[in-house]
Amino acid sequence: MNYNSGSDAKEKPTSSYQSNPQNYFYSSNYSSGSNASGAQYTNPGSRYQGNASGDFDNTNKTPYYYTENYKKKKKKGIGLVHITAVALISSILGGAVVGSFLLFVAPTIPAFSKYLPTQTAASSNTTTKVEYKIAEVNSQVTAIAEKASPSIVGIRVTAFRQNFLFGSMQPSEGSGIIIREDGYILTNNHVIEDAVNTETGKISDAAKIEVILPNQQDKPYTAQIVGRDARTDMAVIKIDATGLPVAELGDSDKVKVGEMAVAIGNPGGLEFMGSVTVGVISGINRTVQIDEKKQLKVIQTDASINPGNSGGALLNSQGQVIGINTLKAQTQLGYEGIGFAVPINEAKAIADSLIASGYVKGRPKLGVTIDLTYTEDIANKNNMPVGLLVSAVEPFSAAFKAGIQKNDIITKFDGKPVKTFDELEEIKNSHKPGDVVSIEVYRYQEDKTLKLEITIGEDKSGN
């Protein structure tokens, strides 16, 4: 039965509601098993399709595209035609094309010393010139690249992809970072997820993940999945090898805006393996909305990040990894130089947990799905309690064991009123698995409020 938007009579709440689409932006369910995991959205407005991260509302969102594993295309040779085309445009249009057509991913930094002022010291007969020592930027970048490049690998994923009515095995390519000498490699989850069997969490029977080392490009290693975490877009894979060069990890908490940033990865795929781009740290502690259900805390840089760079390293001036290249922002205005990396401190903590347990430990879970169409306005119009309508309960979950049922309305959690899913998530995430928390629900079938206790479970899904 549908909610009644005008009557004062109580009607049994269900997970469907007929409303004017002009008034409700989306209709969806959230699962409180993780941070808004498993949500499905419908949007009446116009949308854009991202490379890997899904749909975006073009009315009020800046679309953040996963830089993604590079989708291999069938072709006869390397793109000399493309390089020639750029050269022709340059020669025909001259300097006017700089702002409109040509993208300078790593501008040459001149020696600025000749432009610096000199100081003089007053004396009877002498003038003393004070010399300013300028760091040799090109030499520094070279040193960074020589130090870090051996630890940045290529990742090739071959998996079945559906194209309209047909499907085929298709390769895609990305980047990864060696974090242990015995074959453990850190990358983005979206680089490898096409190869994953969602039921088992392992590589699908027909799929394959290969790792290509910089000095052994003709000898790919078959990789296995150690663990992956969709919420932070991190994954760890492993190859059967020892004595590998390990990347030196820095401290992303110490990163400052304006510092040098160097990105190393495989933009465009393995044909351009080990490409180095240079920029600065443009921002720290950024929060980007990947889609309606996922946010990432990231470092912003103008070092060029392109498809194939995903999973590669963002480095500081010491050649230490400070971030995992993950995202690139694109807008209708065509802004460039807005790339994002997951801070290495967070990535390392995730990787350590994945290696030790196969999942990220310590995340709380309730095990209920919330119907977002049931709002405070709808509750008031239908003379129902304000709260969160439970549309499903996961069997044997914390909510199931506490006695929560489908169509219950959660009105309080941990003694606090809850009106939105975000409020419930915030309180839930302040607890750890094993905590016992009070919860109040209104049960329509019995027309009464129940005071229950729930022992918070642990989310092992990685979603």
What helix, strand, coil percent values describe the chain, rounded to 5? 20, 35, 50
Chain center to CA of 11: 41
Give pLDDT, residue 122. 42
Would you say the pTM of this structure is higher than 0.85? no
Q: Which domains does the chain show, CATH number per domain?
A: 29-34+363-458 (2.30.42.10), 150-239 (2.40.10.10)
Per the CB < 8 A criterion, the answer to whether 340 and 188 are in contact is: no
Count of other CB atoms within 10 angstroms of residue 81: 9
Q: How many residues does the chain have?
A: 463
Question: Would you call 32 helix, strand, or coil by DSSP?
Answer: coil
164: left (phi over 0), alpha (psi -120 to 50) or beta: left
Each residue's pLDDT tens digit, 82-136: 322 222 223 233 333 233 222 222 222 233 333 333 343 444 444 444 444 444 5
Count of other CB atoms within 10 angstroms of residue 76: 4
Burial-class residue 126 by CB neighbours within 10 Å (0-12, 13-18, 19+): exposed
What would the mean pLDDT of 256-281 be, rounded to a whole number?
Answer: 94
User: What is the secondary structure of 247-264 as a DSSP string?
Assistant: PPB--GGG--TT-EEEEE
What would the mean pLDDT of 41-58 be, rounded to a whole number?
Answer: 30
Per the CB < 8 A criterion, the answer to whether 290 and 281 are in contact is: no
Q: What are phi and psi of 130, to 5 degrees?
A: -95, 120
- Rounded to an integer, what distance in angstroms lies between the CA atom of residue 248 and that of residue 251? 10
Per the CB < 8 A criterion, the answer to whether 339 and 323 are in contact is: no
Please identify which of the residues 233, 291, 408, 459 carries the catalytic annotation. Answer: 233
Residue 310 annotated as catalytic: yes
Give pLDDT, residue 133. 44
- Helices within 149-248 (DSSP H only): 189-192
> Which tops the pLDDT comparison, 109 or 183?
183
Question: Would you call 425 helix, strand, or coil by DSSP?
Answer: helix
pLDDT band at residue 321 under the 50/70/90 scheme:
very high
pLDDT over 60 (residue 78): no
Please identify which of the residues 34, 175, 190, 194 carries the catalytic annotation. Answer: 190
Q: What angle do CA 243, 246, 252 make, to 5 degrees?
A: 165
pLDDT over 50 (residue 356): yes
Residue 233 annotated as catalytic: yes
Buried (b) or exposed (e) across 5-29, using 16+ Cβ within 10 A? eeeeeeeebbbebeeeeeebbbbbb
Output the CA–CA distances (angstroms, integers) from residue 52 to 136, 211, 289, 323, in the order listed.
39, 21, 14, 20
Please identify which of the residues 175, 282, 310, 397 carries the catalytic annotation. Answer: 310
> Which tops the pLDDT comparison, 46 or 324?
324
Closest by Cα among 135, 153, 230 to 190: 230
pLDDT over 80 (residue 244): yes
- Rounded to an integer, what distance in angstroms lies between the CA atom of residue 170 and that of residue 89? 33
Give pLDDT, residue 433. 97
Give pLDDT, residue 71. 52
Give pLDDT, residue 162. 65
Count of other CB atoms within 10 angstroms of residue 372: 21
Each residue's pLDDT tens digit, 402-432: 999 999 999 999 999 999 998 999 999 999 9
What would the mean pLDDT of 9-36 be, rounded to a whole number?
Answer: 39
Chain center to CA of 309: 13
Tally of CA atoms within 13 A in the half-sphere of 243 that contains its CB: 0
Question: Would you call 346 helix, strand, or coil by DSSP?
Answer: helix
pLDDT band at residue 166 under the 50/70/90 scheme:
low
- Rounded to an integer, what distance in angstroms lies between the CA atom of residue 264 and that of residue 273? 9
User: What is the secondary structure of 261-292 as a DSSP string?
Assistant: EEEEE-TTSGGGTTEEEEEEEEEEEEEEEEET
Q: What angle do CA 297, 68, 347 make, to 5 degrees?
A: 35
Residue with tokens 């969160």: 388
Question: Would you call 373 helix, strand, or coil by DSSP?
Answer: coil
Of the spans 91-95, 306-310, 386-390, which averages the highest pLDDT?
A: 386-390
pLDDT over 50 (residue 79): no
Q: What are phi and psi of 259, to 5 degrees?
A: -70, 155
Average pLDDT, the chain: 76
Each residue's pLDDT tens digit, 52-67: 333 323 334 444 444 4
